[in-house]
Amino acid sequence: MRQPAVRAACHRALEARERILRDYPRWEDWRAEARAIKTEAISRLDELLARLTREVEAWGGQVFMAQDAAAAREYILEVARRHQVRQIVKSKSMTTEELELNPFLAHAGLRVTETDLGEFIVQLAGHPPAHLTAPALHLDRGQIAAIFQERLGEACEPEPVPLTRMATRYLKPLYRQAQMGITGVNFAAAQEGALVLLENEGNLRLTATLPPVHLAVMGLEKVIPALGQVEVFLRLLPASATGQRLTALVHFIRGLKPHPSGKQAFHLVLLDNGRGQLAQEPELLEALYCLRCGACLNVCPIFQVGAAHLYRRVYPGAIGILLAPYLAPKGDISDLCTQCGACTDICPVKIRLAEMIIHTRRGSARLRPWRFFSQAAGLGLAWPRMYRRVEAGLRLLPRLPLKSRNFLGLALSRQSFYKRMEDKREMEKGEKGKRDKSSG
Amino acid sequence: MGEEEVNREPLLEARLKEAGGRLYHAQGPQALAGILAREAGEPLWLEDHPWLTDAVPELEKIGLAPHIAGDTWELEVDTAVTVGLGAVPETGSVLVAGSGPSSWLPLQARRHIILVPLELADLTFSQALDLTRQEGSPMVTWLTGPTRTADIEKVLILGAQGPGELAVIMYEPLDQET
């Protein structure tokens, strides 16, 4: 993991966002508006999904509600078999990562190729995506060139332009060879049965247009009441994700697309996989407002250390912590937060991320054994005089026979942490001086 | 929004430039052919639209040999010229729709040139959404500059898997044109 590269990439994304925001005096109004729309949508989830289903079916699409990942995978495989699909092209979709769709389809004998450049790179590398919007963030150009050489059997100059062109050359024929294209969905307007998909590379358009079957997968929280309401999200999402006014392409799908062989078949998979249960939790349901912009990742000091791989889950960062107990496979990663609150400040839909992580921690079985210590620490910190006396008392304790690197050994040291580090640095400097003298 | 009172053409030009695109203004087939002669490369494919078919004789006079996307069409062309629905100055976006060859033409073209009716080149966001909703096409796309990627070390590269150049022509047909 190239920590400096991850941190640098996060900072570049944040700078781009800041540049755009200077032109957006109504940013806070838009955040409030977006939050209100999402609040309404989640409170009317069943009604909106029923309307969306009716409208999409009315224009010829087929809709499947999948209660869990297994049901979604089976449906997708059944569609593939019905259309004699052997090859699939796929544009970037975190929801399909959640389904672990690629290994499942590969196991069934289908060839699946990711077409977003970052996803294509991590697919070849065999890595999970490192970021919601920048999957190959953790790899540098040299590593990518080596991966291409090994997996595509062709040497390439380790520079971004030739590497991108090489990937494009490889992918181009696959769009026409594939019998099915799989995409995600960013927003679904129930009233019009319209699906809104954002992208930058043009691969999504090719994936959704050229194969004879288009299948889109969306988490059910992507539904909004009406198309007119997408306006505010089109401003917030690209600015927060990549610092753009708008992504290079925004697609609005409201019908069966033409295809050289006739009309293209269209399937929409609505995925629950724990979202319905989350929608019943008054304290936590706003995690379903998330736009997957990744801004909370870019600003997170823990994410900057290890990217998504640190969390070992599809959804990392603050939003990943909130989704982990609900989205299968369920988990608990609520310790991966410093409570700095930067995620709450940056979230374009004003999700109270830090506050909700505290709530998640309260329910965490994994953290239960530590609760006594945190409550005792809280009590001590609430009474500064008591804290100072306890601290002074602890420092008077004889040094315990613990290794110096042990946390308790450090905590009960007679010296402050800062003084210990200063002494250590001085010692290292002295040793280096001695070595230099002896070698000179 | 207060922006409706200002002349939005400079804003559209500035935003298009910011997104990596270019803006032109043409009146009639001759002026259009002049711009295409400078901007387009061959093979040059045009959507089967009266504004573009009217420009074919002018293009041939200049020495270009345009193809019209009718029963036959190519996926990989140098320049695809199509007619869009309108433009949004706030973001420098162009709305395109259509079905059949004209919608496939620009998918893998190196350059995409889009004609926009002059009177629809100053849409607000909500007007553009209304137009998108009213348009009967199964798919409407808003294009904001050429396709791009920054997936390798966040280095921006234009022309990722689609057109690497995007030009917009605000077009005014002559009175006798359809």
Beta pairing class for A62-66 and A265-271: parallel
Give pLDDT, residue A411.
61
The pLDDT-based confidence of B3 (bands split at 50, 70, 90) is very low
Give the pLDDT confidence of A126-136 residue by residue, as tens digits.
999 998 888 99
Give the pLDDT confidence of A316-375 residue by residue, as tens digits.
999 999 999 999 889 999 999 999 999 999 999 999 999 999 999 988 888 777 777 777
Q: Higher pLDDT residue, A401 or A3?
A: A3
The ipTM estimated for the assembled molecules is 0.93
Rounded Cα gap, residues A17 and A295, in angstroms: 9
Q: What is the mean pLDDT of chain A?
A: 91
User: B138: nearest CA in chain A?
Assistant: A255
Residue B3 CA to chain centroid, in angstroms? 23
| Region label for B58, one of left (φ > 0), alpha (ψ between -120 and 50) or beta (otherwise) | alpha
**Closest residue by Cα to residue A219 from A193, A249, A188:** A188
**Which residue's entry shows tokens 């610092």?**
A243
Average pLDDT over residues A300-313: 90
Q: Identify the residue among A235, A245, A266 best suited for mutation to test binding to B, counting B beta carbons within 10 A and taking the highest.
A: A245
Compare CB distances from B91 to A12, A246, A253 and report the shortest one's residue.
A246
| Residues A192, B133: C-beta atoms closer than 8 Å | yes
Provide, rounded to the nearest whole percent, the portion of chain A with pLDDT above 90. Answer: 75
> Is pLDDT above 50 for A35?
yes
The pLDDT-based confidence of A174 (bands split at 50, 70, 90) is very high
Given a contact cutoff of 8 angstroms between Cβ atoms, the answer to whether B63 and B40 are in contact is no
Chain A residues with CB-CB distance to B136 below 8 A:
255
Q: Count A/B contacts: CB-CB distance under 8 Å.
A: 153
Report the gap between the CA of B32 and the closest CA in chain A (Å): 25
The pLDDT-based confidence of A237 (bands split at 50, 70, 90) is very high
Length of chain A (residues): 440
Of the listed ranges A28-32, A166-170, A389-393, B143-147, the least confidently predicted one is: A389-393
Give the pLDDT confidence of A245-265 residue by residue, as tens digits.
999 999 999 999 988 888 899
| Residues B151, A116: C-beta atoms closer than 8 Å | yes
| Residues A253, B15: C-beta atoms closer than 8 Å | no
Chain A residues with CB-CB distance to B110 below 8 A:
none
How would you class A437 by CB atoms within 10 Å of its CB: exposed for 0-12, middle for 13-18, buried for 19 or more?
Answer: exposed
The pLDDT-based confidence of A393 (bands split at 50, 70, 90) is confident
Q: Does A245 touch chain B (CB under 8 A)?
A: yes
Report the gap between the CA of A12 and the closest CA in chain B (Å): 8
Compare CB distances from A248 to B100, B133, B144 and report the shortest one's residue.
B144
Report the gap between the CA of B63 and the closest CA in chain A (Å): 31
The pLDDT-based confidence of B28 (bands split at 50, 70, 90) is very high
Rounded Cα gap, residues A408 and A402, in angstroms: 8
| Residues A242, B147: C-beta atoms closer than 8 Å | no
Chain A residues with CB-CB distance to B91 below 8 A:
245-246
Q: Does A171 touch chain B (CB under 8 A)?
A: yes
**Side-chain-side CA neighbours of residue A52 (13 Å):** 31
What ranges in A127-202 are assigned the alpha helix state H?
141-152, 160-177
Q: Does A16 touch chain B (CB under 8 A)?
A: no
Give pLDDT, residue A399.
56
Give pLDDT, residue B5.
45
Give the pLDDT confidence of B144-156 residue by residue, as tens digits.
999 999 999 889 9
> Is pLDDT above 80 for A408?
no
What is the reported pTM?
A: 0.89
| Residues A117, B141: C-beta atoms closer than 8 Å | no
Provide, rounded to the nearest whole percent, the portion of chain B with pLDDT above 90. Answer: 77
Average pLDDT over residues A270-290: 97
The pLDDT-based confidence of B1 (bands split at 50, 70, 90) is very low
Asked if residue A135 has a cis previous peptide bond (ω within 30° of 0), the answer is no
Compare CB distances from A144 to B145, B150, B152 and report the shortest one's residue.
B152
| Residues A242, B144: C-beta atoms closer than 8 Å | no
| Residues B151, A118: C-beta atoms closer than 8 Å | yes
Rounded Cα gap, residues B46 and B81, in angstroms: 5
Rounded Cα gap, residues B65 and B60, in angstroms: 6
Q: Does A336 touch chain B (CB under 8 A)?
A: no
Element (H, E) at A47: helix A45-58
Q: Does A161 touch chain B (CB under 8 A)?
A: yes
Compare CB distances from B99 to A141, A235, A258 and report the shortest one's residue.
A258
CA pseudo-torsion sign A65, A71, A76, A81: negative
Q: Does A117 touch chain B (CB under 8 A)?
A: yes
Average pLDDT over residues B36-58: 94
Beta pairing class for A87-90 and A111-114: parallel
Given a contact cutoff of 8 angstroms between Cβ atoms, the answer to whether A227 and A28 are in contact is no
Chain B residues with CB-CB distance to A242 below 8 A:
150
Chain A residues with CB-CB distance to B124 below 8 A:
none
> Is pLDDT above 90 for A395?
no
Give pLDDT, residue A440.
53
Give pLDDT, residue A381.
79
| Residues A5, B92: C-beta atoms closer than 8 Å | no
